[in-house]
Amino acid sequence: MAATKTEFPTTEGVLLLRQGDKTMAVHLTQVTAILEAVILEHDIPLAAMWNSEPSSLDHYAVEAHGKADRIYMWMGTDPFAKREIRNHVEGIEA
């Protein structure tokens, strides 16, 4: 397994937390974040290299440290939910 990391220097941001019908937005006044893309690399015998699966992104790991000054909580419909895109042109223009 291989990983690539990107560190974002101290900046302002918003963290969204969702669980069931609750959404919480945390306004971060100072945050330093490290984003790590975890890649799955398959052990491939040399003889089978041409027939094997390529490496693939498994997940992102995130580590963040900072300060927050406001927290907002919503119940019911998620105000940040992605709306369904009917076609790719609508998504590009949005």
Average pLDDT, the chain: 78
Q: Are 26 and 73 in contact (CB under 8 A)?
A: no
Q: What is the tens place of the pLDDT at every residue in 62-92?
A: 898 999 999 998 888 776 776 665 665 554 5
Q: Does the pTM exceed 0.75? A: no
Q: Which amino acid is at 62?
A: V
Please state, in angstroms and rounded to a whole number, the distance separating the CA atoms of residues 15 and 29: 11
Instruction: Over range 22-47, report the average pLDDT.
Output: 83
